[in-house]
Amino acid sequence: MNSYTVKKAVHSFSWSETECGKINIFNWEKFTGYDPQAEFQMIHDDKNIYIRLTAHNDYIVSKCKNINDMVCGDSCMEAFFTIPSKPDTYFNFEFNSAGVMFLGCGKSRSGRTTVDPEIIKKYVTVMAEADKIPQNQRGKWQITAIINKALFPVLVGTEFTPGKAKGSFYKCGDRVIPHFIAWNKIGTDHPDFHTPEYFGDIIFE
């Protein structure tokens, strides 16, 4: 499995100096042929976790307009990860190209909690850069999510601490040309991102 180190920023940081992780593994042969390029970056400081997700050469479809709509069907990128202090629970942050997000948490696909939109609005800020790309045309889009670490004790009763966590990153879109691309190999016979047994290492400095 892959490993990614989330550097800790002391005063400021630059995305141009932050490592890019490639989302480029096609785990299911049936869904090959459509090949947008995708990448992720993460960094954190005392207050926030910052995630930047970038897709290149992707058909832009953003039908979802409201928090917790099923954005996975749109032009979508996703960040799934645990925090070091709560290794048995992962958070699935999902974003379409317009910056609309879905957030859930739980131990597996079953029994997950969909996070209240008011909590999301209080603790997560999303900035999208795709306004100039017409719908149903190919182009580059990017979102930046700023996640206040105070979110985690609200959801799981545990403060964020640095250390080793688990997670993965995905590019998908059922309503585009169906595709399911991942950061790590997934050993299921059908597309399934809710597979923490196939998560890679995410080390928060």
**pTM confidence score:** 0.96
Beta strands at 113-114 and 124-129: parallel, antiparallel or unpaired: unpaired
pLDDT in tens, 107-146: 999 989 999 999 999 999 999 986 677 888 899 999 999 9
Contact between 80 and 168 (Cβ < 8 Å):
yes
Buried b (16+ CB within 10 A) or exposed e, 62-93: bebeebbbebbbbbbbbbbbbbbebeebbbbb
Contact between 115 and 104 (Cβ < 8 Å):
yes
Q: Which helix (H) or strand (E) holds 58?
A: strand 48-59
pLDDT in tens, 72-84: 999 999 999 999 9
Model pLDDT, residue 11 = 86
What is the rounded distance in angstroms from the CA atom of residue 94 to the CA atom of residue 1? 22
Q: What domains can you pick out in the chain, each with its CATH number?
A: 3-7+29-204 (2.60.40.1190)
